Structure 1
Amino acid sequence: PYTYQMYAHDGTLPPDNALRIEPEFRDGFHPCAKNGEWILVDDHRGTTVYNIETKEAVKINELGAIKPGFTLLKPFDFCKWNGTEWILNVDEQNAFKIKQNESRRDFLLNDTNTEIDILNRAVRLGRATEANKKRLELLENYSIDLYQLDLSDPDVVIPKKP
């Protein structure tokens, strides 16, 4: 619906002849002719906007206002759109922490159980030292502590491996 600035010559017809009048220029706007008159149209070309549903970044490449469903405000981790701004989505953040805690606990359990298996073999074969037997007891208690963690608490503290 807009025409860009053109050079009008004798014999040009509206809206092109309206362009003989110098348009107004302002930052963030681009002058365009509409119905034989200059109007200022929002110019966000080259600006990145964000989809308020998907958080996807999109670069604007045409004149006009920012489309509904998009914002200039950059989203951050674990956020949701509240209608005017991005706010922290505590549920999403907690779900992420719980998954991280589960992964960390599972890794530590696997690592600990591997060491327990080897130390149990040494005990069974009579090749374990007293230090091995003490380490085995520590690791067995540690594995039980890991197994009994309440991972529904996103702020659970995972104990360090002895």
Structure 2
Amino acid sequence: MEIYTQTIPVCQLDENNYFVGMTTADLDPLENNGHYLIPRLCIQVEEPVLKKGFIAQWTGYNWQYIEDHRGETVYSKETGEVVAINEPGILPATVTTMPCPDIYHQWSEKANSWVEKADAAQLRLQNKRRSAGTLSRMQMLSQLEISLDKNKAALVAAAENAMTGIELIKIRNYILETQSFSLDNDNWWKFLTDVLHLDEKQIFDLWNDAIHI
């Protein structure tokens, strides 16, 4: 009488026939002919060879190997944000494994890399202006008088000599009435650069000095 082992190794698959791992099938206690109770989604074939970066899939006849990027960190070429890969297969053409350096870069298919945006310098300046915060009326006017020897009246006079129309009205009202100054205000930035002829470094130096008043 032939003696059968109580269990045999079988390959366990998922719903898409991807190899999950090895498990065992038990000998059928009701049969006496070596019949085993193969668990659901399991097959009695040789275990596939493990290949880094691939997952084995049963075709019904043999194992085929599919690229598997699940768990990898990839990035959207459009936004630079992290994209989750949930299914095996080749990476979508819309993602890359290279992280975007910063918001001033965009993906270039021609270079196959992130390249700096054409308006990166302008965007950096805009963000720098925005992040500078605000200064109180006393801080701003006092620093301008200390640095440029221009009090409120002199600032208004400078505006009237260089500007006209609605632009003059806006900046004059800003100087006379606003309670907080912001470099993110385009009218104020233009006044500092075009009327007072301050360059970017001078403006931010003046701004930082004013913070401590």
TM-score range (shorter-chain normalised) is 0.5 to 0.7
The two structures have a TM-score, normalised by structure 1, of 0.61
Distance 2:145 2:128 in 1: 27
Match of 2:128 in 1: 100
Q: 1:64 is matched with which residue?
A: 89
For 1:76, the aligned partner's letter is: P
Q: Where does 1:6-155 land on structure 2 (aligned, <5 Å)?
A: 20-77=45-102, 78-83=104-109, 84-101=112-129, 104=132, 107=135, 111-113=139-141, 115=142, 136=145, 138-141=147-150, 147-149=191-193
TM-score, normalised via structure 2 length: 0.49
Q: What one-letter code is carried by the residue in structure 2 that aligns with 1:112?
A: M
Q: 1:102 to 1:73 in 2, by over 3 A?
A: closer
- The answer to whether the 8 Å contact 1:4/1:33 transfers is yes
Matching of residue 4 in structure 1 with residue 15 in structure 2? no
Q: Distance in 2 between matches of 1:100 and 1:142?
A: 26
User: 2:89 & 2:151 partners in 1: Cα distance?
Assistant: 62
- Relative to structure 1, the CA distance from residue 70 to residue 102 in structure 2 (aligned partners, 3 Å threshold; closer, same or farther) is closer
Equivalent residue, structure 1, for 2:4: none
The answer to whether the Cα contact below 8 Å between 1:8 and 1:20 also exists between their aligned partners in 2 is no
- Partners of 2:74 and 2:83 within 8 A in 1: yes
- Percent of aligned positions with the same letter in both sequences? 23
Once residues 46 and 129 of structure 2 are traced to their aligned partners in structure 1, the CA distance between those partners, rounded to angstroms, is 67
Question: Which structure carries more strand by proportion?
Answer: 2
Output the aligned Cα RMSD: 3.9
Unaligned runs of 5+ in 1: 117-134
Higher RCO structure, 1 or 2 (CA under 8 Å, sep 6+): 1
User: Which digits, 9 at most, give the CA deviation of each residue in 1:46-71, with x for residues without a partner?
Assistant: 11211111222122232111122111
Give the Cα separation in 1 of the matches to 2:94 and 2:192: 45
Name the CA distance, whole Å, in 2 between partners of 1:102 and 1:138: 23
Alignment partner of 2:119: what SS? helix
Gapped runs of 5+ residues in structure 2?
1-14, 26-34, 159-188
Larger Rg: 2
Q: Deviations over 1:85-120 (max 9, x none)?
A: 11111413422314524764974987322x37xxxx
